[in-house]
Amino acid sequence: MNERTAKIARLDGSAPQSEKLPYRIELWDQDARSLERILARALSAQLGRAIFKAAQKEHPEGRILLRRGKRTVADSGE
């Protein structure tokens, strides 16, 4: 088995991606009524916050949420 297939094999049968990367950085419309897209996922809160801050600069007119599950950790609209 070469290195490429070894990486693929390790991913098969493991936990879903959402469980491995519990933090989501989301782009919402200004009123936070509709999710436009998930910009990124992160393993830790520290990395999630760094991505959140970068997303705020990248999308100044959008509303950015950092979430873990259903809980909102940070909201650019506040």
Amino acid symbol at 19 = E
Residue ranges of the chain whose pLDDT lies below 70: 1-19
pLDDT of residue 68: 96
Task: Provide the 10 A C-beta neighbour count for residue 61.
Answer: 6
Give the whole-angstrom CA distance, residue 11 versus residue 48. 22
- Going from N- to C-terminal start, the domains of the chain cover 17-75
C-alpha–C-alpha distance, residues 28 and 63, integer Å: 5
pTM (predicted TM-score)? 0.73
